[in-house]
Structure 1
């Protein structure tokens, strides 16, 4: 697990994060149903040359609460920007995975001068396709009714997180167990955040404002996001580059850590 676990305070609620290394700051934002520890391999590698801040999103990891007035990912972006301001960090790079990339995009839109570069891993910042919304809403209904992530649902989610047809069963089982172990008091917070992530706004309409160096990475065997979505983002964001990652699914940072580390290293060397 990552060391140097800390917490900030946003609207009287603790926001947990890890802080490792020194140098230019890289902020790492995980996606739905993950937590800050998903970046362990990247933090261990990058913290030799950078200061890496991996944040638990509300309802995930050590965050058992959420500020009462939180309505959407725009508010969450404001919370993370506030945390970084409290840490007196003037500028930073962001790596966003899944809905973490949508939050990262909102941070760029709010304060473009603070974000030096953006990496979006297995993400889409447009509207969630209706077929996905229906599926994810069924998951939330089960969570809200049972006040848990049932073993069946945990297995369903975990299986979809990894590369189609070539999964490491140990990784799948490990994630499934983590999801099953989430405390019943945390489930309503996780569900509330997930609703915001699923029904997020379409920031593809605002991509002309994303004028910073951008890298889009997509796992070719991703079962939750499509190569087409990543192509659309990289095509619409001026100067963005797109990389297809073979043999990788949604949690590519766990499945292919060396490849992700190499991509990030080369990207930051170019900045």
Structure 2
């Protein structure tokens, strides 16, 4: 297993293949292994990297240091250490927030952004949003992690034929460190970079599930404030789109990366 000491934290990562670098950034309570359906599709053409954020997966779970800005700083340190030149960054949910933070802080870094079921802020502005955030925080703090994992798995993968996926992800979420999970969840609430979206100067693909937590219209709204950006909606999908609609997701991602390529097929990874 590969680890790097970055910003005082031991972080687990994977690095496979050759070509333009693609960095896959996971969501809250997840890890790099959740990209298992994307890595084989990307490897024939790209150098594919995953990073377990602090508090997640096989990385250290420190007592403090949890914020979207800190997660983005860890990603930047990883990019610099691995000498990734103009990586394509793909982020789902919390990973999308990290991608937005990184791209607004350092617009010169990414070749492109792919934002999946995410947005540039988690600031409740409507009564329904306040309720949703309050419920998530309340239940995460009072319920055992096993109950949270079971509830999330059932919400994300509710179909009878998704039983195997449901059980797999329930098991994975139960492996979380409770303290690190709650600290990461709290770090997301109130975060936002919406007012700085004009700093992003790379192509952006926003992929939205038709049944995600937040409506497609919210994604369409922020896409309108980005320059070179477009929205793709995947039907019959919930929050875990790269898993429940892997084939459709991979086709969109590969097409976008081909259009946003920064170098020859041999790649430019420093």
TM-score after normalising by structure 1: 0.88
- Shift of the 200–23 alpha-carbon distance from structure 1 to 2, 3 Å rule, reads farther
Query: Which ranges of structure 2 fall in alignment gaps of 5 or more residues?
Result: 125-129, 261-270
What are the equivalent positions in structure 2 for 1:90-239 lying under 5 Å apart?
90-129=85-124, 130-142=130-142, 148-150=144-146, 152-162=147-157, 168-182=162-176, 186-197=177-188, 199-222=189-212, 224-239=213-228
Higher relative contact order, chain-length normalized (CA < 8 Å, sep 6+): 2
- Shift of the 196–262 alpha-carbon distance from structure 1 to 2, 3 Å rule, reads same
8 Å Cα contact 1:34/1:61 also seen in 2: yes
- Pair 1:55-2:45 in alignment: no
8 Å Cα contact 2:119/2:219 also seen in 1: yes
| Deviation string, structure 1 residues 70-100 (Cα, Å, up to 9, x no partner) | 2521121011101111112232110010011
8 Å Cα contact 1:124/1:225 also seen in 2: no
8 Å Cα contact 2:241/2:249 also seen in 1: yes
What are the equivalent positions in structure 2 for 1:75-94 lying under 5 Å apart?
75-94=70-89
Note the C-alpha offset of 1:241: 0.7
Note the C-alpha offset of 1:180: 2.6
TM-score after normalising by structure 2: 0.88
Task: Give the distance between the partners of 1:57 and 1:79, measured in 2 at CA.
Answer: 8
Note the C-alpha offset of 1:177: 2.2
Note the C-alpha offset of 1:221: 2.1
Task: Give the distance between the partners of 2:209 and 2:137, measured in 1 at CA.
Answer: 24
1:268 aligned residue:
257
- Shift of the 17–110 alpha-carbon distance from structure 1 to 2, 3 Å rule, reads same
Note the C-alpha offset of 1:104: 0.5
8 Å Cα contact 1:101/1:121 also seen in 2: yes
2:265 aligned residue:
none
| Deviation string, structure 1 residues 166-211 (Cα, Å, up to 9, x no partner) | 76122112211222344xxx221221112112x1422111111122
8 Å Cα contact 1:73/1:200 also seen in 2: no
- Shift of the 66–226 alpha-carbon distance from structure 1 to 2, 3 Å rule, reads farther
Task: Give the distance between the partners of 2:197 and 2:247, measured in 1 at CA.
Answer: 30
- Pair 1:20-2:23 in alignment: no
- Shift of the 193–232 alpha-carbon distance from structure 1 to 2, 3 Å rule, reads same
8 Å Cα contact 1:35/1:60 also seen in 2: yes
2:38 aligned residue:
42
1:8 aligned residue:
4
Task: Give the distance between the partners of 2:180 and 2:244, measured in 1 at CA.
Answer: 28
Q: CA RMSD in A?
A: 1.8
Task: Give the distance between the partners of 2:196 and 2:161, measured in 1 at CA.
Answer: 36
8 Å Cα contact 1:125/1:202 also seen in 2: yes
In the comparison of the two structures, how many residue pairs are matched?
255
Query: Which ranges of structure 1 fall in alignment gaps of 5 or more residues?
Result: none
Classify the secondary structure of the residue corresponding to 2:186: helix
| Deviation string, structure 1 residues 112-139 (Cα, Å, up to 9, x no partner) | 1111100000112223432232022113
